[in-house]
């Protein structure tokens, strides 16, 4: 998973990230670099613009595409929030475990 180090980070003005929320039940996120944590109430993803936390109920990841850097999350979505990129902890990340 060394390739992700070469991806643009939040200091790059060319990064385009989309968050599409449909009826608070389906969230499509582009620019996702890694899924750090997930369960049915919280999903934390590392994006090209920082860490994004999604809170809700009955959350599930329906699509995870490494090629298009896209994630689709479905469930009852209550809250979306970004936090600083320097808070990320890559140990225990979902994609890190897959590609070790």
CA distance 20 to 32: 13
Smallest Cα–Cα separation from 27: which of 68, 76, 65?
76
pLDDT at 70: 96
Q: Is the confidence at residue 63, as pLDDT, over 50?
A: yes
Which CATH topology does 2-87 take? Immunoglobulin-like (2.60.40)
Count CB neighbours of 70 within 10 A.
15
Helix or strand run (H / E) with residue 95: helix 94-98
Q: What is the pLDDT of residues 25-57, one digit of tens each?
A: 999 999 999 999 999 999 999 999 999 999 999
């Amino acid at each position: 998973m060394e390739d992700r180090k070469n991806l643009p980070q939040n200091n790059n003005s060319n990064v385009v990230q989309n968050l599409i929320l449909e009826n608070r039940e389906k969230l499509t996120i582009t620019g996702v670099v890694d899924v750090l944590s997930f369960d049915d109430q919280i999903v934390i993803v590392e994006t090209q613009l920082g860490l994004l936390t999604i809170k809700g109920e009955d959350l599930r990841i329906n699509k995870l595409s490494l090629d298009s850097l896209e994630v689709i999350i479905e469930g009852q979505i209550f809250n979306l929030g970004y936090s600083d990129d320097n808070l990320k902890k890559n140990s225990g990340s979902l994609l890190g475990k897959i590609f070790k």
